[in-house]
Structure 1
Amino acid sequence: MVNFSLFMILGCLIMIFCGLWSFISYHKHLLNSLLSLEFMMLGIFWMLSLQMSGVGSEIYFGLFFLTLVVCEGALGLSLLIMIVRSHGNDYFKSFSVLVC
């Protein structure tokens, strides 16, 4: 019988690669890119928690990782709000380096 944790790790890797694929292919809106980054971070956290549950003593590393993910999400959301207020939308085609 195949180990159940192997299927869980495979599910984590599928989540990470699906998030990476959506980050690369769906780049019309900034919000889609931010959501795919958060989906990748969720897959990485799931895999990290699976690996750390086997060890048992390194739960604080997972909390530190969650803190960094929340900070990344808050920074992305604040940039999205700033861009929507200044440009009126979140299309990547409307952004220009010359216009501030």
Structure 2
Amino acid sequence: MTNFGLLSVFSSLMMIFCGLWSFISYHKHLLNSLLSLEFMMLGIFWLLNLQMSVVGNEMYFGLFFLTLTVCEGALGLSLLVFIVRSHGNDYFKSFSILEC
């Protein structure tokens, strides 16, 4: 049982680091950045659920974290739609601070 727990923790940490690596290396498009952030949040949520299952039955904190993650994803998608409608694409090179 402890090997499965260690494997689950390692898998969630690997998800977090893969999301961080993709956020750093593939930053041409806004959609790639948003997807890598969501992948990191999924790894953190999985690690949080593993920790909460060891501590006790406190799942309200996990649900609160999941709610905040969904709100962050909805805000990111609404910004993506707004940027694609105003600029025509989601390249970071085409954004300018002066155009805001």
- 1:91 maps to which residue? 91
Partner Cα separation in structure 1 for residue 23 and residue 75 of structure 2: 17
Q: Give a deviation string over 1:20-61, Cα, whole Å, max 9, x none.
A: 000001001000000000000000000000111112221000
Q: How does 1:9-88 map to 2 (within 5 A)?
A: 9-88=9-88
- What secondary structure, in the 3-state scheme, does the structure 2 residue paired with 1:63 have? helix
What is the Cα-based RMSD across aligned positions, in Å? 1.2
- Runs of 5+ consecutive residues of structure 2 not aligned to the other structure: none
TM-score relative to the length of structure 1:
0.96
**Large movers: runs of 4+ above 6 Å:** none
Letter aligned with residue 24 of structure 1: I
Letter aligned with residue 32 of structure 1: N
| Paired residues, number | 100
Letter aligned with residue 76 of structure 1: G
Letter aligned with residue 55 of structure 1: V
**Percent sequence identity over aligned pairs:** 81
Partner Cα separation in structure 1 for residue 30 and residue 57 of structure 2: 38
Distance 1:57 1:2, change over 3 A: closer
TM-score relative to the length of structure 2:
0.96
- What secondary structure, in the 3-state scheme, does the structure 1 residue paired with 2:97 have? coil
- Runs of 5+ consecutive residues of structure 1 not aligned to the other structure: none
